[in-house]
Structure 1
Amino acid sequence: MIDPANGVDRVARLLIVEGRIAAIDPADGDVPSNAKWIDASGKIVAPGLVDLGAELRQPGREEDETIQTGSDAALAGGYTSLLCCSNTNPVIDSAAAVELVIQIAQRVGGVRVYPIACLSKARESEQMAELAILHEAGAIGFSDSPRPMPNDALLKRALDYCRMFDIPIFDRPEVPGLAEGGVMHDGRVSLALGLKGLPSEAEDLAIARDVRLAEATKGRLHVGPVSTMGAIDMIGRVKARGIAISASVCPHNLNGSDESLRSFDARYKVHPPIRSARHVEMLQHAVADGTIDAIQTGHMPRAREKKGNDLDTAPFGAAALETTLSATVTDMVRTEIMSWTRAIECLSTNPAKIAKLDAGTLSLGAVADVVVIDPEATWTVRPEAFLSKCQSSPMEGRQLHALVTHTIVGGDVRFVATQSAVAGAEV
């Protein structure tokens, strides 16, 4: 059992009663006679994973994903809580839109879904949305992500205003003028391929502005996902001064390099872009040493017919809910860059703290959101077997380690691994 919130990393038994954690290592006499047993011998039991920003696309863009299919994919990936992005159609900039997403998710009865509402009206970066009304309706944060916020004054005002609610603003750091028309990381490979690049400076300058405004307002700011060495440097500096910001990274930025784009395959067209090997190495160490707080999926599902276009015209995006845990274990844990405890902290405990959710822990009395993981299982990523509607992934064809066998939400077992449900697991 691994529970970073309580410093637990040991062999144990876990008792769940009426949807909550009732005991760790209960005496046999304290276990109800009608209890359902899950044999987790040789496996890891941890708090359910929490994602800081997945696109579920419903309402309005159901050809890419629905709350049902996104929830199914999340459960298969070990997630019990998702923060969903505001770029639906219509966008989530009204109380009715927030309530609609919550109601659909409740009907689905899968993963817990928490809407991130728009920071600006209609995501147009001109007027601040009615944040108090949105928060009252159930929004747990604000962001125009995956669109960045270019309006400095609006962001400053919002950071100051949100101090009343003590909830975070999430910003996707990018300067639109520098990134406009970019297809991939701006470097030697993009030059050789003749493709317009997304310069690291576009992210670095946005991060510099974001952290300075957070320092000035003392508002709660989360920046991410980040992908550059410059971003890491600035985040580390402001954290050293005690500024309350947090940051996240996507698994596709923790492996490989922009060399993969030489194939001109649109499955590698993701955002933030896959950057050079030097950026990847620095990001790996920033996750391990705590400069970066969390790993988020970056789940941006797009329909097959959209991703089937040429590289320069295909949209950014990929399915990631079903591969993030395994990719993290493969690229970060098995390479001994970080421990299993740190991995669970980045995937569950810290995201829950950032979003202020009752999640990310196996404390007595806590809601029983739990994931069971087989750390020794290996599987090959086959997107055609994903539960997500999106069948595009930069992880396609990779052999990954670690497999979710059970996902439990509020004490209810909502996912049990089968051969068909794990995209080609080898058993």
Structure 2
Amino acid sequence: MRVLIKNGHVLDPATGVDGICDVLTEDQRIIGVKEHIEEQADRVIDAKGCYVMPGFIDLHVHLRDPGLEYKETLETGGKAAAHGGVTTVCAMPNTKPVIDTKERVEDVHTRAKEDSPVHVIQLGAVTVGQAGEELADIEGMAEAGCHAISEDGKSVMNASLYREGMRRAAASGIAVFAHCEDIHMVEGGVMNADQKAEALGLKGITNAVEDVIVARDILLAKETGVQLHLCHCSTADSVRMVAEAKKDGLPVTAEVCPHHFIMTTDDITEDDGNFKMNPPLRSKADVEALREGLKNDIMDVIATDHAPHAEQEKDKSMKDAAFGIVGLETSAALTYTELVETGVLTPMQMAEKMSYNPAKILGLSEEKGSISEGKIADIVVFDPSKEYEIDKHTFFSKGKNTPFHGRKVKGEVRCTIVDGVPVYEG
């Protein structure tokens, strides 16, 4: 199949192309990028007024499959990703059962090829059952193409065991994705520890809960040489520590989620479970530090931590609600509205942090994250002029749990192409 994308503004962080070009794909590959392409194609997409970017790669997604399909499935999560311009997702392993063996990674990959319209990379757990007591089959999962291990949802609190897991990951050529949270310091907290928590009568989670594990994991990465990626960073000190790690030349990268670079606890006006996430919304000072970190390329990636839940799990007090919000279908618009339109990021930086850098972290930059000849034809056509209100009822995800319902945004995915085939058209 040939697809010709005409008149779009191509943004390619890999080559620096930043201008009006046509893009021609054939079967799974991009075969031409230049100002005017007049060749025949099976489909012609007019991208005038739109950005044409490499398909977004979300390093942090919960697909809930296997075992929790009432929240999400490979099919519904894949459709949600396509709706959001995401062509590759990394699925976290905290499913039922936990993805902790080569066979379980292979099972998800096999089923995803049939069920999901986008690419799914299943990450593996660090420990068996994510119980923190025995290392999982890291070598086997690496052979199955997991690309990284993660204990997401918790930290491996046994530092010695974690260090050995990092050593094995490094030897296997895969990364470690770290959820940084000292579980012993949470103490039942459900939101940021500040005056708003006190006003709502809820227990707070301090910044140190995250920061002490960020520091520990960076030091362990320094010792083991593993590629460390810090998930959903939310504090100013996390940014500072990542900056120092990079100055020291350590293999450390970090991601920020839209909810953490947009919202603060000031946005929580009542006890609403849709505002409960882990880590929690922080202070204005933290948000400003995260935005500056993204602007100055200290923080490498924008990811979602897409965490769908059933309505009954979120429609309750923050004290009792499940942690997490959905994000696959809103991340591009929120990033464009809050960071690009405001001048924090350039459009090229948006493409870099949502596609090119994630591809590099996964070791896929030879194939993905670029609009250039020979690359896999994973492409998003994004209309920056479209204004609308986020409507959770239009989500393809089973999860509707978002604090952004009704928020005015600018920027909409017009078309998502995976392996040279349009899988979503708005």
TM bucket, shorter chain: over 0.9
Decide whether the 8 Å contact of 2:306 with 2:325 is kept in 1: yes
| Residue type of the alignment partner of 2:25 | I
Decide whether the 8 Å contact of 2:23 with 2:37 is kept in 1: no
| Residue type of the alignment partner of 1:352 | A
Partner of 1:16: 25
Alignment of 1:81 onto 2:75: no
Give the counterpart of 1:120 among 113, 124, 127: 127
Partner of 2:73: 66
Alignment of 1:282 onto 2:259: no
RMSD: 1.2
| Residue type of the alignment partner of 1:124 | A
- Paired residue secondary structure (1:254): helix
Decide whether the 8 Å contact of 1:250 with 1:298 is kept in 2: yes
| Residue type of the alignment partner of 1:284 | R
Partner of 1:206: 213
Q: Distance in 2 between matches of 1:151 and 1:88?
A: 22
How many residues matched?
Answer: 415
Partner of 1:190: 197
Map Cα deviations across residues 352-375 of structure 1 (whole Å, 9 max, x no partner).
111112311112100000000000
Q: What pairs up with 1:205-354 in 2 under 5 angstroms?
A: 205-354=212-361
Structure 1 ranges of 4+ moved more than 3 A: 26-29
Distance 1:348 1:228, change over 3 A: same
Alignment of 1:363 onto 2:376: no
Shift of 1:309: 2.1
Larger mean CA deviation between 343-352 and 91-100 belongs to 91-100
Map Cα deviations across residues 81-100 of structure 1 (whole Å, 9 max, x no partner).
00000011111012221112
| Residue type of the alignment partner of 1:157 | E
Map Cα deviations across residues 10-46 of structure 1 (whole Å, 9 max, x no partner).
11111111221101127656x1x34421000111100
Q: Distance in 2 between matches of 1:155 and 1:378?
A: 46
Q: Distance in 2 between matches of 1:34 and 1:366?
A: 18
Give the counterpart of 2:415 among 406, 413, 425: 406
Shift of 1:262: 3.0
Q: Distance in 2 between matches of 1:263 and 1:55?
A: 27
Alignment of 1:391 onto 2:395: no
Decide whether the 8 Å contact of 1:193 with 1:262 is kept in 2: no
Q: Distance in 2 between matches of 1:394 and 1:166?
A: 38
Q: Distance in 2 between matches of 1:378 and 1:388?
A: 22
Identity of aligned residues (%): 34
- Paired residue secondary structure (1:231): helix
Shift of 1:338: 1.1
After TM superposition, the score normalised by the length of structure 2 is 0.95
Decide whether the 8 Å contact of 1:15 with 1:26 is kept in 2: no
Gaps of 5+ in 2: 1-9
- Paired residue secondary structure (2:72): coil
| Residue type of the alignment partner of 1:390 | G
Decide whether the 8 Å contact of 1:116 with 1:143 is kept in 2: yes
| Residue type of the alignment partner of 2:146 | A
| Residue type of the alignment partner of 1:395 | F
Partner of 2:115: 108
Decide whether the 8 Å contact of 2:272 with 2:316 is kept in 1: no
Larger mean CA deviation between 392-401 and 157-166 belongs to 157-166
- Paired residue secondary structure (2:388): strand
Gaps of 5+ in 1: 418-427
Shift of 1:192: 2.2
Larger mean CA deviation between 315-324 and 185-194 belongs to 185-194
Give the counterpart of 2:186 among 158, 179, 183: 179
Map Cα deviations across residues 382-414 of structure 1 (whole Å, 9 max, x no partner).
112211000110111101110000000010010
- Paired residue secondary structure (1:342): helix
- Paired residue secondary structure (2:88): strand
Q: Distance in 2 between matches of 1:213 and 1:291?
A: 20
Map Cα deviations across residues 212-252 of structure 1 (whole Å, 9 max, x no partner).
11111111111111100111111111110111110001100
- Paired residue secondary structure (1:92): coil
Q: Distance in 2 between matches of 1:85 and 1:246?
A: 18
Map Cα deviations across residues 43-91 of structure 1 (whole Å, 9 max, x no partner).
1100000001100001110111111000000000000000000011111
| Residue type of the alignment partner of 1:255 | I
| Residue type of the alignment partner of 1:77 | G
| Residue type of the alignment partner of 1:20 | R
Decide whether the 8 Å contact of 2:194 with 2:204 is kept in 1: yes
Shift of 1:109: 4.3
Alignment of 1:160 onto 2:177: no
After TM superposition, the score normalised by the length of structure 1 is 0.95
Q: Distance in 2 between matches of 1:342 and 1:324?
A: 14
Shift of 1:277: 1.0
Shift of 1:330: 0.8
Distance 1:364 1:28, change over 3 A: closer
Q: Distance in 2 between matches of 1:395 and 1:363?
A: 34
Shift of 1:260: 2.3
| Residue type of the alignment partner of 1:134 | M
Partner of 1:38: 45
Shift of 1:290: 0.8
- Paired residue secondary structure (2:375): coil
- Paired residue secondary structure (1:104): helix
Larger mean CA deviation between 365-374 and 143-152 belongs to 143-152
Larger mean CA deviation between 91-100 and 314-323 belongs to 91-100
Distance 1:217 1:28, change over 3 A: closer
Distance 1:305 1:28, change over 3 A: closer
